[in-house]
């Protein structure tokens, strides 16, 4: 029987089962897909006798025979990750990164390290702006289909295409610590491993990940791309952002260059699981 005080109930919003299985199979020299637990129960036996003294005696035994109960358990995402986490925790192979991180701690993190982050997840400001525009356009079309002229409709169609195009590789997210925004982590979440809607991904979570790259002082990570694989210089980004300058207040503040790119001190991570 599992002791409940040792159980952590997690609500996963992102789960890369392939990576969890890869790590586990390396540790266990092959992945155990399922296991059988056998529980045996023994009943007490009672002896007794009856008869006529000095003439006849009858003895008997009454009780329960041994019972064997077999329970077949199948590995689930949650149980696989719990096994992996227990291994990593017992061997001190996972580092916890929280608000207390400083330059000294940051400098000791290496490519390939496994870390657990107390994370605040957000998208780029441009991503959020385009999402707001497309959502607002859907609302207008539903309740006032004649309320947009041809030019506005063409603009909305362009934003929708831009939104779809930028998400082809997955969702680019920025991770900061809840009370320490100096140090940042960035990654792209493949949509196939994401278990909630895009809007539900923002907020405070635990992120288990591996360090993929440590950005140098002159390096940047693009949180938003016009097209997969396309890198924009500062001048091109400035020209592009001009189209958001006169947006209505309901859309939110206009995005800035700093909202599209992440620079030092930052690390690119490979996510394994994200949960509450």
Share of the chain above pLDDT 70, in %: 58
Give the pLDDT score at 31: 72
Question: Which tokens sit at 45?
Answer: 């036996």
Average pLDDT over all residues of the chain: 77
Indicate whether 9 belongs to any domain. Answer: no
Region 154-165: what's the mean pLDDT?
59
The pTM of this model reads 0.72
* Domain stops at, among 43, 63, 92: 92
Whether residue 36 has pLDDT greater than 80: no
Q: What is the pLDDT of residue 43?
A: 55
| Residue after which a domain boundary falls, among 60, 92, 124 | 92
For 92-148, the pLDDT digits (tens) are 999 999 988 999 999 999 999 999 999 999 887 667 676 666 666 665 555 555 555
- In this structure, are 83 and 111 located in the same domain? no
The reported pLDDT for the residue numbered 207 is 97
pLDDT tens column, 237-247: 777 777 677 66
Residue 203 Rama label (left phi>0; alpha psi -120 to 50; beta): left
State the pLDDT confidence band at 235, using cuts at 50, 70 and 90: confident
pLDDT-based confidence at residue 68 (cuts at 50, 70, 90):
low
275, 269, 239: which is closest to 260 by C-alpha? 239
Same domain, 80 and 215: no
pLDDT beyond 70 at 151: no
Would you say residue 223 lies in a domain?
yes
Domain shared by 99 and 151, yes or no: yes
**45: in domain:** no
Residues 174-231 pLDDT 10s: 999 998 889 999 998 998 999 998 889 999 999 999 999 999 988 888 776 655 566 6
pLDDT on residue 218: 86
| Domain presence at residue 57 | no
Look at the chain and report how many structural domains it folds into: 2
157-170: average pLDDT = 61
**Do 178 and 99 form a contact (C-beta atoms < 8 A)?**
yes
Tokens of 69: 């109960």
Asked if 154 and 20 sit in the same domain, the reply is: no
Does residue 153 form part of some domain? Answer: yes
Which domain does 84 fall in, by range? Answer: 15-29+74-92
| pLDDT at position 191 | 87
For the chain, what percent of residues have pLDDT higher than 90?
A: 36
Q: Do 80 and 177 fall within a single domain?
A: no
pLDDT at 17 over 90: yes
Q: Say how far apart CA 20 and CA 76 lie, in whole Å.
A: 11
| Residue closest to 126 by CA, chosen among 232, 14, 275, 266 | 232
Residue 211 and residue 78 in one domain: no
Tell whether 104 is covered by a domain: yes
Confidence of residue 66 (pLDDT cuts 50, 70, 90): low
Could you tell me if 122 and 198 lie in one domain?
yes
Question: Which of 52-61, 84-93, 246-255 shows the lowest mean pLDDT across its residues?
Answer: 52-61
41 falls within a domain = no
Q: Each residue of 194-220: b (16+ CB within 10 Å) or e?
A: beeeeeebeeebebbbbbeebbeeeeb
Residue 257 is assigned to a structural domain of this protein: yes
């Amino acid at each position: 029987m599992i002791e409940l005080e040792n159980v952590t109930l997690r609500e996963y919003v992102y789960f890369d089962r392939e990576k969890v299985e890869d790590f586990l199979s390396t540790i266990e020299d092959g992945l155990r897909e399922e296991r059988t637990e056998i529980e045996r129960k023994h009943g007490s036996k009672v002896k007794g006798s009856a008869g006529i003294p000095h003439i006849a005696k009858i003895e008997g035994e009454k009780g329960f025979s041994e019972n064997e109960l077999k329970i077949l358990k199948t590995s689930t995402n949650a149980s696989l990750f719990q096994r992996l986490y227990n291994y990593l925790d017992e061997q001190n192979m996972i580092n916890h990164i929280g608000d207390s991180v400083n330059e000294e701690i940051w400098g000791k993190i290496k490519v390939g390290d496994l870390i657990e982050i107390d994370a605040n997840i957000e998208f780029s400001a441009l991503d959020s702006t385009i999402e707001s525009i497309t959502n607002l356009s859907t609302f207008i079309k539903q309740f006032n289909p004649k309320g947009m002229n041809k030019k506005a409709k063409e603009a909305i169609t362009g934003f929708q295409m831009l939104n779809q195009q930028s998400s082809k590789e997955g969702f680019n997210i920025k991770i900061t610590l809840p009370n320490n925004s100096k140090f940042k982590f960035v990654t792209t979440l493949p949509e196939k491993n994401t278990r909630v809607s895009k809007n539900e991904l923002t907020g405070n979570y635990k992120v288990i990940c591996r360090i993929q790259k440590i950005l140098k002082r002159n390096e940047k990570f693009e949180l938003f791309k016009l097209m997969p694989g396309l890198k924009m210089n500062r001048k091109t980004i400035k020209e592009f952002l001009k189209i958001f300058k006169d947006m209505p207040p309901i859309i939110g503040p206009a995005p800035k260059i700093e909202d599209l790119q992440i620079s030092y001190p930052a690390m690119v991570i490979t996510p394994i699981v994200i949960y509450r």
